Amino acid sequence: MNPANIQAPVALVTGSALRIGAAITAYLHQQGYRVVIHYHQSKEAAQLLTNTLNKLRNNSARAVCADLNNQQQAQQLVAKAQEWGGQLDLLVNNASIFKRTDFTNFNDADWDAMFTLNVKAPFWLSDAAFAHLKVTQGAIVNITDIHADKPLKDYAVYCQTKAALMMQTKALAREFAPQVRVNAVAPGAIAWPEQENTLSSEIQQKIIARTALKQHGKAEYVAQAVFALANNPFITGETLHVDGGRGLT
């Protein structure tokens, strides 16, 4: 069933049941978008967010499950978003793995997992979405990281994946121009990792101290940046750092 308001733009946000992805989705919905909430394992959270948004505007949100490690499922996710919305205006590649890599016990499984989800999946999704986005003169926004060009110790593989995604942003901006714009948002200290003992409170405070604005960011700031890039028709191939000036130090 197609949404009643077929004029509203449609956004597909990957990994959008929780944390930054959920904030991006809620903000886009607030700005008038119909949203496709992608999840893999967080079914309960995805459905809760979907229900919440649909109470605000009937049939304006839909949750779709897909394993983005599988190219076919990634392509089907785009197809389902297009079928539901009748159009596709924005793809936000947010789903990602953030994991510490211990070089005293390095394994290829971590390497493969992070490169597949953080680099291959956005490429598969962007490739599948291009045909639909060019119809609406739409946009792609990738969520990278400030550590794409300033490596974080003990996270060498993760940093490489985000560097690759930053280059993918620039490369696809050229490939998809002039029909579709491709940009990126690189968050700084926005959402602390969920894994226990990843960053102690002491380390967190040191990170904030090295941030020019001396504060921890909010997920909504990333969402605002995504919306700004999605709606500016004369920006492509760029990365907007949302880091409180941390990159200055």
Distances (CA, A) of 237 to 127, 175, 234, 242: 16, 10, 10, 16
Q: Respond yes or no on whether the N-terminal peptide bond of residue 151 is cis (omega within 30° of 0).
A: no
Tokens 């291959």 found at: 120
Tokens 């978008």 found at: 33
The answer to whether the beta carbons of residues 236 and 181 sit under 8 Å apart is yes
Residue 143 CB-half CA count within 13 A: 29
Q: Which of 33, 39, 158, 221 is catalytic?
A: 158
Is 158 catalytic? The answer is yes
Q: Determine the straight-line distance between the first and last CA of the chain, rounded to whole angstroms.
A: 51
DSSP state of 152: P
Q: How far apart are CA 155 and CA 54, in angstroms?
A: 39
Q: What are phi and psi of 139, to 5 degrees?
A: -145, 160
Tokens 């110790």 found at: 153
Q: Which residues are catalytic?
A: 158
